[in-house]
Structures are given as C-alpha cells and as structure tokens.
Amino acid sequence: MSDNTFLTTLCAVTLTVVGLLVWTGRAETEAPLFSEVTAELGLSQTETTWPPGTHALPEIMGSGVALLDYDQDSDLDILHIRYPPPRKRNSPAPNRLFQQQPDGSFVDVTEASGIGHTGYGQGVAVGDVDNDGDLDVYVTNYGPDVFHRNNGDGTFTQEDIGVSNDGWGTSATFGDYDRDGDLDLYVTNYVRFDPETTCRGKHSAPDYCHPSVFEATTDRLFRNTGDGTFTDVTQQAGIAGMPGRGLGVVCLDLTGDGWADFYVANDGEANHLWVNQTDGTFTEEAILRGLAFNAYGQPEASMGIAVGDVNTDTRPDLFITHLFSETNTLYIAANDSGFIDMTEVAGFAGIDLPFTGFGCGFLDFDNDSDLDIALVNGRVKRDDILEGADIGEFWNFYAEPNLLFQNNRTGFGNAAGNFTFTDVSTRAPDFTRRVEVSRGTAFGDIDKDGDIDMVVGSHDNRLRLFRNDAPPPEHHYLFVRSITDNRDAYGAQVTLRTESRTLTGYVLPGTSYLSSSDPIVHFGLGSIDKIEAIEVRWQDGSRETFQGTPANRRITVSQGEGVPF
Amino acid sequence: MKKISVLLLLLLIDGLAPAKGEVAIPQPADLGLVEEKRLLKAVETAQKAVRNSPEDAEVWGQLGHLYLSHRWEVPAIACYRRANTLAPDEFRWLYFLGRLMARREPAAAAKYLNRALTLNDTYAPAHLYLASALRILGKFDAARQHLENAKDLQPDNPFSELWIGEIAFAQRQVKLARTHLENALRLNPDQSEAHALMAQVATVLGDKETAKKHAQAARQPSRYSTLYDPLWWDVLRAGVTAPLHAERGRRYMAAGNYADAVTEFEVLISRTQKDIDVWLDYGVSLLHIKKYLQALAALEHAQTLLRSDEEVRKQKKPDEIAYLQVQTYNHMAQIYYETGQTDAAILTGQKAIQLFHNSVRNAHGSDKARDSEYTTFLANVHANLATAYEDIGQLEQTIAQYQKALQLLPTKSALHRDLAGVYWKMRRYTEAEPHYKRVVTDDTTDVQAVYRLGLIFLTKGDYKEAIARFEKVIELDASHVRAYEAVGIASKEIGDIPAAIGAFEEVLKLEPDNKNASEMLKQLREKK
C-alpha cells in the first residue's frame, strides 16, 4: 500500500467513525426536526447507480420538483422533473408523477396521467392557465419546453399553446402581470451551451465550465390571451434587451405599487428586476433597487430564490442561494422601496459560505411564528471530498450537506433590525447529514399535520421527502388558501392581524430553484390561537378583509367575498 | 456543520500518526485526475522536500503555495497550519491561513489574521482581509477600524473607502456612505462596485439622474486597482500550469513589467497554442520591450488564428473575434510606426478602423455594455493614425483623424492638445485657440498651452488677455524666458513701459546675451 493510499484509507475510516460519533451524540439528546420518509411513502428510486459525469454543464444543474394537488383531492402530489443520466442521453428518463393516497403513501401514476415527458427536464411551473379549477403544468427542458393541460380527470394532454421556448429553460413561473385575470408565464433561460466546449481547472484537470464561457440568453415572457393560448411578448415587454444567465425567478410586487414584477436570479452576473410599468412593459431596475449585487457591489452566482416577510413589516424579503465562497444573500425590503443586503447581520454567512446553494425556502418549520430557512447544496466545481460523501467516485467531489437555519426572532418590524439565524442543521440529521448534490426543492404540508414538509431532488434523479417533526404541540398554525377567478390567487399578499402580531405571507408557488411549491400560505402562530382578521391584497391591487378565525385549521378566502378596504 | 467537517479534516490531517519515519503529507483528493506533467512533477518535488525536511516551516509553506496556486485549498490550509506550528512567529503562514479561510471559515480567518497582525501590523492586506472576515461575521465596527488602518497604511487602495462606504450604507448612514464611495471612485473611477452602491445611495437621496448614471457604470466590468500584496506573489510564482503562467504574465503587464511578462508567455507559446489572448498578450508585451520582429510574428499568427482557425473562432462571438482582429491590427500598426514603416502603419490603422465599423460596432448583437470601451479604443486608433500622418507631413489628414477621435471622446484633453498643436504648426491660430482653451480649462498648469494661448491673444491684439496668460506661465515656470519676453512686448503695446522694462530685464537676467531684449530695453528706456 502506498503512503497516499494508506493515508486516504485511514482518513476515510477515521472520518466515518468520528462523523458517526458526532451524529449519534446529537441524535441521543434531541428529537430530529425532520425525518426522511421517502422509502416508507413509496417514493422509490428507479436508477440504482448514476454514471460518472462527462463535465457537460446540464448534468450538474439538476432539476426541479413540484408539490401540487393535480387531482383536486386536497392532498399534495409530487411531480419530479428528470433527465437522462450522463453518457446515456438516449436513455429516456420520463418525468414522474406520484399521487398521494388516502393513507399518505404515494403511487407512481406517470403512465396513466400522460405527463411523463422524456426530455432533458429542468424546471417546472404549475398554474391553472384556463381558470377551470385544475392545475396545468409547464416543464422547461434543456431543449424544447412542454406544456401539459390538466384534463380534470387525472390525465394531462401535451399541447402547443404558444409557449414554445427553444433555449435552455430553467426556472419558470406563472403570474398575472397584466391584471387581466389569467396567469401569464415567465421562463428564464440559462446559457447557449456548446457540448463541444471543455474546461479545465487551475490544476489542469477537466471540470464543469463556468457559465460565463457560454453566451447569455434572453428570458421569455408569454402573455395569456385568455382564449387558451399565449403570445410571446418578450420583445414588446422590453425583456429582450438584456440577456442573462437565469436560473431562478419569482413573480410578485417588489416595488410596493401593487403590480407584479419579475425578479430573476442570474448566475455570475447582475440579477434582473423587471419592474412592471403597468402598460405591459418592464424596465430593469435591479441595481437601482439594490437587488443586482451583494453588499460588496459584486455580482454573485445566483441560483434559487426564497421569498418571505422575515422582519414582519409586511414587505417581501428575499433570500438568494449562491456559489461556494459567496454568501447566500438576504435582501431586506427597506422603507425607500429598495432592498438592503443584510446577510452580514443575519448570522448565517459564516456557516454557509463554503457551500453552493440551490433550492431554498423561507418556512416556519417550528410554527413559532417566524420564518426559518432551509437550503440544499451541491457544488458545480470540484473541491475536496467532504466526509460522508458516498455517491460515487466522480460525484463525491461535488457533494455537500444541506443546511437548516432557525430564526432567533429578534428585531422585528424594521429593515435594520438585528434579526439573526442559528444553524440548527445538526438537529435535522436526515435532511443535513447526507452529503449529496441536491438541487430542486419544494415546500408544503404533505402529510396535512399543520407544518411544512420538504421534497428535494438531486443530481441523480433521486427524490427525498422530509417530514417535518419539529413543531411542539403548543405551537399553532393556520393555512390560508386564496382564490380568485376559480384558481389560486398567485401574487396575492395575505396578512394576519392578531392581538400581538402581524404576519404576512405570499401566494407564491414559483420560488426556490426549478421548482414549484404549494401555493397555500402557511403561518406558524406560536402561542397565538386566534386570528383577529385576515387581510388580502389581491393581484389586481384590490384589498379585502376577512373575518378572523381560531388557529389550527385550513381556511379559504375568495376574492369578492371579503370586505373591501 | 461545515465547520465540523473541515475542522475534522484538518485535525485528522494534522493529527495523523505517520508510520515510523514517514511524514503525513496532505494530498489533493483529485491529484489522480491531473494530466499536466509539469504539475505532477512540481507536486512530487515539493512533497519530497517536505519528507526530507519535515521540521522546516519553509518547505511546508512552499507546498502550501503550490497547492493554493492550483486551487487545492484544503490541503494548502493543512500545509500552512503545519508551517505555522513549526514557526509560530512567522507572519506569512498566519496571513495565508487567514486570507485563505476568509471565504471559508471567517471566524477562524479572523483569529489567524489577528494573530498575524500582532506580529506585523503594517501589512495593509492583512487588515483588509481581516475586515472582510469581520464583515461576514457582522462585526462592522471592528471591520471599520481595520479598514481605517489599511487606509492609513496604503492611502491609495480604493478598497478601504469602498468597504467603509458599504458598511455605512448597511447601517443606513447614507450620506456618510456617499462620502466614502466618492473617495473610492476618486481612487479608482472604474470600480463598478462603488458605482453600484452609489446608484442605491443616490436613489435613497432622491437623485434619480445620478442614480441612473452610476447604475450604468456599474454594469461595466470592474477594473480593480491591484491591491499591493507582495506576499501573494509567493503563491503565484509557485504555479506551474498554463493558466498560472498566463495570470502572472498579465499581472506583469499590468505592472508595466513587460520583460517578465514575455518570459511567462514564452512558456505557453507553441504552434498548438490556441488561446488567442495568450498570443495577443505575448505580442503586446514584445512590442513594449521593442522586440518588434517577434512581436509582429506573434500578432500575425494571432491574426491568422482569428481569421481561419475554426477552434479559435468558436471560442468567441463574431463581434468579439472582429474586435480582437481590430486590436491586433492596431498593435501591428504601432510596430510599423515604431520601425519607421509609416505608410504600412497608416494602411494597417485604416484597416483596423474599417473592420471595426463593419464588424464590431455594427455587428448584430454586439455587446452594448462594451460601448464605452469600444469608443475609447477607436478614438485611440484615430489618434495613432493622426500621429503617423503628421510624421509624413500630411497635416490635413492629421487634423481629420484628430477630429474623428474628438467626435468620439470630446472631453479628452490630450486630443485637444494634439489637434491644437497641429493647427499651431500650420499657423492656423484661430482654429487652435478653442482647443488650447479647453486644455487650459482642464489643466491650468499646462505651461505650453497657456503660453500659446497667450501668443494667440497677442497676435489678435488682445494684450491684456495675453499678459494674463504670460504671467500665469511665469507663475508656473519662473525661468520661462519667452514668457517674459512676450510680457515685455504686450506691455509695450499697451503703453505700460515700466512693466515692459521689468519684463525685458528679467529676460536679460536669464539670458544675458539676448540681443533682442537688450535692444528693446534700450528703446524703452529712451521712451521713458
């Protein structure tokens, strides 16, 4: 045995032992916050081994996952977007739809549903584009994207409705930017990838190319014409003038004028904030409003986007995941309609700096009435192997653990408040112990027990479902579904008034990375057991207030049934 | 959690009990994937040195440099830690540990850098990296103190002002932020980071126009002033792969050290080299050290690759290829000019301009963000052409080229000065006047421009204006004989005989044999 082999072996053995000791010690003292229930709920993995990569960029970018109630039976089903393994591009990997059964388990209904497209799947957007009460699905691909219309009987039909996008589509989102009552579609495009281009690191070994090696591309905006088809309005809306390397997108009002804007996370360059001019056009104002760069004035490799009112001032704040050596960035909405990068005071920058983040979300996982953060990681450049990595010789270089941060609940109600987060990753070992290449992540109360669960996709088409076991029984909750025009009111802002607190959430399924979450707004309430009033600012700018309600239930508010104010 | 993993790894590497007589050497995990033999050999040599002298901090540090320069950061950290254990009072190992960990584990980095600064608190980059780590940890006041220290030690580094401004903005001290950012931009006007924050500051202060201006500037790639960090060169020099030779070459170029740049690029030059930037930088460096023939050969080869090598042409967009061709032609024109082949210089310069207009600026999808760079470049090509035309006496063409350059860069003082000089040479004083005025507005200390402006006023009979200019010249250069002489003439013309006498007396003090001054003095004294 050579010196090197001896040392490597010894290292691996010792690391494993020490790692186990660390985790065992934690597990004995505290109940885990999340438990993986993938296998026990029937979400089996089809591929047993994932081939080594070829350093072609698409294979490291992962894919998305959607939590949606496609069959309208009031529980969440799972749509997993997939792609063929490296070196096996002709081996079909259909997207898979898992239907939740009454007992909480899942059954693969891909074939019966007709949604198993076999492209090089990337992202997913979910929305009821024809206001018929069921959820339609748009899937982006490295290759032509596809639209699946929900037939309302458990099946989908792939249709050409004028939303063709031949770029490398990544995240996509539905939103009613023109306030005409139907959902429009924004699709981010990444780069013009050239499979012949190869890249090497500083030590001359081959690796994945930096996206800047490839040409930036233009995103696409499609306007819903209301007759079941869409029109490409990219050019006339003003989006075409500024190509980017887009990976994440959200659609909501970020300027406080009541009109939906689009915020695009670009990889390695300035993010874009397309501000709605209310006449069908947009202007790009990310630099002016503090959302293009980090606090150092530098562009970052932006991937996923989380949206939530972290400091409870009713304005949406943003959390963007980034590359190793860049912080994940927390932008807090300020009084002057701009945003301030408050990452450095949030307390997680020293923890997440070494990781490359992708899927992410603000979620009040412990129902204590403040927003926590979950994010999943995995490199795009080779680095030293971390202990616990066991996903194959090639992929171990890219594997990283996930992270969970708990809000310390201080400094509410002002932009410069001293809100901080604590790393509680060790308390969620199922979610954070595995060292993998995780990507798309979606959030929702899958088991309907009053808290937010997570589903995570990995680079190897693996799906993991994490059940939330965190909230103590004394912590209350409320779910609010907001309906307009027979569909979820995407972009609406829901505010709960209680005796002691004001909490705000957003009807926003299209967040995170390549993924779509449950649009029903979840509120952790802590000890609050009664809501005084519910206020909704609808996507069309109107406002209504609804009667209060006791906690621990699911309620639905419909536009037009409240009291305008 | 990462803290656990990295620390464990480091503890294990450090704490491994080696076999008897063996040294536990940290290994890059993907060393087996390395194909470049030079690097493998360098690793082998550096590791052998460690085995031979395991108690020598220096050899551990050198291995750390080798690893770090090739982006093997984790084993580099382990090497520096060993070096630090062996030589705890050596500033360098603590500095590199801190610098390396600032973007991995800022808390640990802060500890290392604090210790480093107890050994040597005069090394500005250590203060800057410590400030960076402290910022990430949210310790703004401590960070600000180290930025102030760095500013005192290196007043011309723009990072201190920029980061103090950023901290002020994060703390909502908007006006204070603006002051520091303005200072940063004075030190480096092309620092996009400062423009980005200034856009936000101006927005908050309600100045929309300024905000837009800075937002536009923020979209340009940042041009950092290089941080003076001589220790980092120890790391850079350890690199043996092609990207590191290229990086060193470009850093030498930026520092004006073209001879060393040529040495670095020479390692990379071969018939199979397809990195067009390497060929261009090599050619330009050769040009600067006046190795014109080799420079021309390198640039011609670059031109051939750009024109007809499919592999090279695939690397960039058509307008980028065209722009590189234009730049190459411009450098070739410079070589022709320097070697006395003025006609060839003019021909090549014109070719550059033609190609620029056909294929760069008008190219479909050309890069709008580079408009400012394109404008500056094209103006320089016109100015170079003007110089060549002037050399062969085609002054009308010279004027035409300067005018084109000025259309592109109407505020560039040097162009006004050069154009005025040509008009002056052609005795077209009226046309020279506005350009000299512009020069003097921009730089009130430009003696030649002020003097010539005085002469123009003198020829126009505007004696008082003329005297004011000549007195300004004398204020700037008390030995300027011609200015005294001109004051004498102008004063005589307006009848100020005492002033005229005084002026000619000054001439004679400086030039006792000046017959004209003597004669004038004689006449003036007789008049008096």
Tell me, what DSSP letter sits at residue B361? I
Would you say residue A360 has pLDDT above 90?
yes
Q: Which residues contact A474 (CB under 8 A, 6 or more apart)?
A: A527
Q: What is the pLDDT of residues B344-388, one digit of tens each?
A: 999 999 999 999 988 876 654 445 556 778 888 999 999 999 999
pLDDT higher than 60, residue A28: no
C-alpha A87/C-alpha B399 separation (Å) is 63
pLDDT in tens, A293-304: 999 999 999 999
Q: Which of B176, B318, A556 is nearest to B184 (CA)?
A: B176
Kindly determine whether residue B197 and residue A297, on different chains, have CB atoms separated by under 8 Å.
yes
Mean pLDDT score, A507-513: 97
In three-state secondary structure terms, A515 is coil
Task: Establish if A196 touches chain B: CB-CB under 8 angstroms.
Answer: yes
Q: What is the DSSP string of A161-184?
A: -S----SBEEEEEEE-TT-SSS-E
Q: What is the mean pLDDT of residues A393-419?
A: 79
Q: Is A386 on the interface with B (CB under 8 A)?
A: yes
Among all residues of chain A, which has the CA nearest to that of B3? A351
**Res. A410 pLDDT band, cuts 50 70 90:** low
Asked whether the predicted pLDDT for residue B233 surpasses 70, the reply is yes
- Nearest one of B278, B348, B356 to B320, comparing CA atoms: B356
CB distance B29–A385 less than 8 Å? yes
End-to-end CA gap in chain B: 96
In this complex, do A387 and B163 lie within 8 Å of one another by their Cβ atoms? no
pLDDT at B216 over 70: yes
**Lowest-pLDDT range of A348-357, A554-563, B63-72, B174-183:** A348-357
Count other C-beta atoms under 10 Å from residue A30's C-beta: 12
Instruction: Determine which of A151-155, A203-207, B157-161, B415-419 has the lowest per-residue pLDDT on average.
Output: A203-207
A429 touches chain B (CB under 8 A): no
pLDDT of residue B415: 96
User: How wide is the angle at C-alpha A379 spanned by C-alphas B237 and A207, nearest 5°?
Assistant: 55
CB contact under 8 A, B170 and A385: no
Helix (H) or strand (E) holding B353: helix B342-355
Q: What pLDDT sits at residue A89?
A: 77
Residues of chain B with CATH 1.25.40.10: 6-176+183-190, 442-528
- Chain A contacts of B13, Cβ < 8 Å? 11
Judge whether A387 is closer than 8 Å to chain B, CB to CB. Answer: yes
Q: How does the average pLDDT of chain B come out, rounded?
A: 91
What CATH code would you report for B6-176+183-190? 1.25.40.10
Joined tokens for residue B208: 């929309």
Q: B362 versus A259: which is more confidently predicted?
A: A259
C-alpha A357/C-alpha A438 separation (Å) is: 9
Give the H/E segment covering residue A124: strand A121-127
Size of interface A-B (CB pairs under 8 A): 174
Any B CB within 8 A of A383 CB: yes
Q: Can you list the alpha helix ranges (DSSP code H) found in A429-468?
A: 429-432
Instruction: Verify whether the Cβ–Cβ distance B9 to A15 is below 8 Å.
Output: yes
Contact B218 A287 (CB under 8 A): yes
- B291 φ, ψ (degrees, to nearest 5): -90, 75
Please give the mean pLDDT across all residues of chain A. Answer: 91
Contacts of A423 in chain B (CB under 8 A): 1
pLDDT average, residue stretch A338-360: 91
Q: Distance between CA B47 and CA B41 in Å, rounded?
A: 10
SS3 for A244-313, per residue? ECEEEEEEECCCCCCCCEEEEEEECCCCEEEEECCCCCEEECCCCCCCCCCCCCCCCECCCEEEECCCCC
* CA dist., res. B21 & res. B2, Å (int): 33
| Residue A250 and residue A177 in contact, taking contact as beta carbons nearer than 8 Å | no
Instruction: Tokens for B168, please give them.
Output: 């002020």
Q: What are phi and psi of B207, to 5 degrees?
A: -95, 85
Distance CA B302, CA B296 (A): 10
Average pLDDT over residues B173-199: 94
A476-484 and A553-558 as β-strands: parallel, antiparallel, unpaired?
parallel
Q: What is the pLDDT of residue B312?
A: 86
Cβ of B74 and A384 within 8 Å?
yes
Q: Which pLDDT score is estimated for A412? A: 44
Contact (CB<8Å) A19/B172: no
**Chain segment B97-148, per-residue pLDDT in tens:** 999 999 889 999 999 999 999 999 999 999 999 999 999 998 999 999 999 9
Which amino acid would we find at residue A86? P
pLDDT of residue B3: 43
pLDDT of residue B320: 86
Residues of B in contact with A194 (CB under 8 A): 314
B chain contacts of residue A355, beta-carbon cutoff 8 Å: 2
The residue whose two tokens read 């001019």 is: A277
A14: left (phi over 0), alpha (psi -120 to 50) or beta: alpha
The pair phi, psi for residue B9, each rounded to 5°, is -60, -45
> A126: exposed, middle or buried (C-beta count within 10 Å: 0-12, 13-18, 19+)?
buried
* A556 has pLDDT over 70: yes
B480-to-B424, B514, B524 alpha-carbon distances in Å: 19, 14, 21
User: Which CATH code fits B442-528?
Assistant: 1.25.40.10
**pLDDT tens digits for range B325-344:** 999 999 999 999 999 999 99
Residue A11 scores a pLDDT above 80: no
Which DSSP symbol is given to B421?
H
Q: Provide the residue type at A133 as one letter.
A: G
Residue A175: what are its φ and ψ, rounded to 5°?
Answer: -170, 150
ipTM of the complex: 0.87
pLDDT surpassing 80 at residue B80: yes
Judged by DSSP in three states, A521 sits in strand
Is the per-residue pLDDT at A8 higher than 70? no
What pLDDT score does B226 carry? 66
Query: Which residue in B126, B15, B133, B29 sits closest to B76, CA to CA?
Result: B29
Residue type (1 letter), A540: D
A residues 505-534 near B, CB within 8 Å?
none
Partners of residue A338 in chain B, C-beta under 8 Å: 200, 203-204
Is residue B201 within 8 Å of B181, Cβ to Cβ?
yes
Q: How confident is the model at residue A170 (pLDDT cuts 50, 70, 90)?
A: very high
Say if CB A65 and CB A71 are below 8 A apart.
no
Q: Determine the Cα–Cα distance for residues A271 and B223; give it in Å rounded to an integer.
A: 20
